[in-house]
A = this chain, B = another copy of it.
């Protein structure tokens, strides 16, 4: 492919439309989460508060945006897509609560506020994570998510696979093992780690709209492939930011990966080659959308934004 295609800058209008769509999606999923999570009432209110503390009020909501935009390709009702988006954000939130625990990454801050086990306590944080994961499957299973039970069960199947032992949990295990390993991981092993740890849930977010919309298998596969490539590029861009941006630009502590001996492609290939690979992935992600019309422009803009962002 021509080099120009890779460095093409999205027109200002596209990035403005994307910025608005991202912020609309974040506001809408926030509202959906608020409605779907248990009210903090009754004797076990502390659990519900802890769940809400970590699921509400934060993050880019990229997974939610992918669900909403992929669902929009097929005219899916926004209320249904929002339930699926909220369920996936609950799973993402639970994974962060557990990753931050003292026995895992031992982080005290997340998105500028104390992590769950600091704000509550370790036992409550473990339980809140468990309950968030479980509640995501309750939300998916309820009739309001889609009138057709075959659609709902396919969502449970695809999302549980992406989050389970052969998906996110497996990737987290690989990440922990990599930190303890004597020799650094090679490129293939790092790619696999990141595909499992963060890629699969991003992939299934883009796929979820096709499931909700009962799309043709070719369209479902195209969206899944798009999500996989965007997810991989997003991870590289994150690692590049960590390696190059100042903490002020990134809005969080940077240079952490090298310090922690984290297995990243940037550490292995260097910033320039890693950036080229991210650009290649983004071109490939957009190519998967070739069969989609203008309606997919926001998905294309998100792909471009993934590697252009500075935070």
Instruction: List 16 A-B pairs, Cβ < 8 Å.
Output: A44-B177, A44-B196, A46-B173, A47-B170, A47-B173, A104-B123, A127-B169, A130-B169, A131-B164, A133-B134, A134-B163, A138-B157, A141-B153, A149-B153, A153-B156, A156-B156
How many copies of the shown chain assemble into the complex? 2
Among candidates B135, B149, B170, residue contacting A164 with C-beta atoms closer than 8 Å: B135
Contact bitstring A45-62, B, C-beta under 8 A = 1, else 0: 011100100000000000
Q: How many residues of A contact B (CB 8 A)?
A: 54
Q: Which chain B residues border A170 with CB–CB below 8 Å? A: 44, 47, 131
Task: Give A13 Cβ to nearest chain B Cβ, in Å.
Answer: 41
Q: Does A189 touch B at the CB level, under 8 Å?
A: yes
Compute how far the CA of A259 lies from the CA of B164 in the bound complex, rounded to whole angstroms.
38
Q: Which residue of chain B has its CB nearest to the CB of A117?
A: B103
A interface residues with partner B (beta carbon < 8 Å): 38, 43-44, 46-48, 51, 94-95, 98, 101, 103-104, 121-124, 126-127, 129-131, 133-135, 137-138, 140-142, 149-150, 152-154, 156-157, 160-161, 163-166, 169-174, 176-177, 189, 192, 196
B residues less than 8 Å from A142 (CB atoms): 157
Q: Which of B150, B161, B165 contacts A51 (CB 8 A)?
A: B165
Chain B residues with Cβ under 8 A from A150's Cβ? 149
Distance in angstroms between the alpha carbons of A161 and B142 in the assembled complex: 11
A295 to chain B, nearest CB (A): 29
A173 to B45, CA, bound (A): 9
Instruction: Flag if B43 contacts A174 (CB, 8 Å).
Output: yes
A194 to chain B, nearest CB (A): 13
A46 contacts which chain B residues (CB < 8 A)?
173, 177
A246 to chain B, nearest CB (A): 31
User: Contact: A141 with B123, CB < 8 Å?
Assistant: no
* Given A138-B157, A141-B156, 17 extra CB contacts under 8 A: A43-B174, A44-B177, A47-B169, A101-B123, A101-B126, A103-B122, A104-B123, A104-B126, A123-B176, A124-B176, A127-B176, A130-B130, A130-B169, A134-B164, A134-B169, A138-B160, A149-B154
Do A174 and B141 form a contact, CB below 8 Å, given A103-B123, A160-B134, A165-B38? no
Verify A141–B126 contact, CB threshold 8 A.
no
A103-B126, A160-B137 known; A131-B177 Cβ under 8 A:
no
A138 interface neighbour in B47, B140, B164, Cβ under 8 Å = B164
Smallest beta-carbon distance A164→chain B, Å:
4
Decide: A137 and B135 in contact? CB cutoff 8 A: no
- Using Cβ atoms and an 8 Å threshold, which residues of chain B touch A51? 165
In the complex the two chains form, is B173's CB within 8 Å of A127's CB?
yes
A214 to chain B, nearest CB (A): 13
- Given the interface contacts A153-B141, A174-B43, does A166 sit within 8 Å of B104 by beta carbon? no
If A127-B172, A173-B44 touch, whether A165 touches B122 (CB-CB below 8 Å) is no
Complex: A123 Cα to B180 Cα, angstroms: 12
User: Quick check: B126 and A98 within 8 Å, CB to CB?
Assistant: yes
